[in-house]
Amino acid sequence: MLDLQKKLTINEIFYSIQGESYLAGLPCVFIRLTGCHQRCTYCDSEFAFYEGQKKSIAQILESIKEYPCRNVLVTGGEPLLQDNATLLMSALLQEGYHVAVETGGNRSLEKVPKEVVKVMDLKTPSSGECERNNYNNLNFILPQDEIKFVVQNSDDIDWAIETVQKYQLEQKAHVSISPTKHELLPTMAEKILESGLKIRQQVQLHKLIWPGVEHGV
């Protein structure tokens, strides 16, 4: 029996279009948890570092019932910083939701329910957090999951492709490269095509639909 009175600090809950990962384009309910221990140079959700309110899992489940959607993404910040995050995921699964989690890849994935789609970053050099990548997490990655690289320049793209080759990531899960600015798209396409690897080129779809909007997209 899950304890639905356990609480998490929630930054925001909203209904939108999934902007990244191979799930991009799907309607989704987003549950953004407060807190992050990393400070990536390209972070676009710094408002989630500290802002938030305590809510029980029961309250969270009740609040998302209003949305006509069964897809849920648990995100942050870094959602796995909060001990009850995996309990929330289990509760969502129990309610019949299709659940995904976005994580920076530094915190262990070991306790994430196997039914949850894990979208895990491997931080690139320009992020300032590359040295903190937890490669042990590759042991918990399943074929349904995704390993994502966010890139800011051509060197980041090269590093991402080399890392995919080194760890044979395309044989483990979906792999994507996502740019911080759309000017990188032609360079990304050329390098991905040259590599011959099964890598998805991403855009940040939500930023194309709602440019300049931070919250609730």
How much is the pLDDT for 208? 77
Number of domains within the chain: 1
Sheet containing 200-201, strands listed edge to edge, beginning at the edge strand earlier in sequence: 53-56, 7-17, 27-33, 71-75, 98-103, 117-121, 146-151, 174-179, 200-201
Cut 0.85: pTM above it: yes
User: In the prediction, which pLDDT does 5 show?
Assistant: 97
Any domain includes 200: yes
d(CA 140, CA 158): 25
At 204 the pLDDT is: 77
Question: 112 in a domain, yes or no?
Answer: yes
What per-residue confidence (pLDDT) applies to 194?
Answer: 97
C-alpha–C-alpha distance, residues 24 and 187, integer Å: 21
Write out residues in the chain with pLDDT < 70, as ranges: 206, 212-217
CATH number at residue 108: 3.20.20.70
pLDDT at 212: 66
Residue 118 lies in a domain: yes
